[in-house]
Structure 1
Amino acid sequence: MGAILASSCCVVPLFLVTLGASGAWIGSLSALDPYKGYFALFTFVCLGFGYRQAFPRREVDCEDASSCATPASRRITKSVLIVATVLVAASLTIDWWAPLFY
């Protein structure tokens, strides 16, 4: 069962290609395009909550055994949040910079 689930990441796309669903066809789908603003707003709200948790205004007391007590854990959390913000910004502005590459 584990082997079947592990290979599903390769089998499902192969099955879709045999049915004629290629990357070019999937790229032309625009059914969710009218909702892009709502998805962006939801993403910014989630990022805002993430920044509020990662960068508190005052120092929060942590228990000794908690994950927030270790500086490496806090540094990794902040780094991942910043990388996620850069990726979100890149994906939301792709209409502006993507034509520069073709």
Structure 2
Amino acid sequence: MSDKTTSSGNDRRSSWLTAGGILGAVLASSCCILPLMLISAGVSGAWIGQLTVLEPYKPAFMLIAAGFLAAGFWEVYFRKGRHCEDGSYCARPASSRIKQIALWGGAFIVVAALTIDTWAPLFY
């Protein structure tokens, strides 16, 4: 397998981990933060109240999100670079910056969902 094929596979894996972390963060916040954000943005409707039925699944969503985020952070920040043909380390692609921003955004959402009981009363 060539370096280009391996690099493409690693980029694809880190992209999937990043997307999984973001999706997990949205699911983890779907019972609490998502309705608050929608109402703050002016979106309303009876269906927003139905998002609270996801509250019992919040711990599972948090674990899934934390797992994807941890794997994504490890993939983006801590994975050892591969040696290229000339013996030096291969450069990271420019999309790594986008993945970093997405991972930090997902981590922020998860932390906000975990601590919502502390800061949500400030908005009432």
- TM-score of the alignment, normalized to the shorter chain, above 0.5: yes
Structural mapping, 1:28-67, within 5 Å: 29-61=51-83
Q: Which amino acid aligns with 1:90?
A: A
Structural mapping, 1:1-102, within 5 Å: 23=45, 26-27=48-49, 29-61=51-83, 69-102=91-124
Q: Is the 8 A contact 1:62 1:69 kept in 2?
A: no
Alpha-carbon distance in structure 2 between the residues aligned to 1:78 and 1:72: 11
> 5+ residue gaps in structure 1?
1-21
**TM (normalized to structure 1)?**
0.58
State which drifts further: 28-37 or 76-85.
Answer: 28-37
Q: Which amino acid aligns with 2:116?
A: I
Q: Which amino acid aligns with 2:122?
A: L
CA shift at 1:57, angstroms? 4.5
CA shift at 1:70, angstroms? 4.5
C-alpha deviations, 1:3-53, integer Å up to 9, x for none? xxxxxxxxxxxxxxxxxxx53553265322112111111110010111111
Structure-2 change in CA distance of 1:29 and 1:74 (3 Å): closer
> 5+ residue gaps in structure 2?
1-43
**TM (normalized to structure 2)?**
0.49
Larger Rg: 1
Where relative contact order (Cα < 8 A, 6+ residues apart) is larger, the structure is 2
Q: Is the 8 A contact 1:54 1:77 kept in 2?
A: yes
Aligned residues: 77
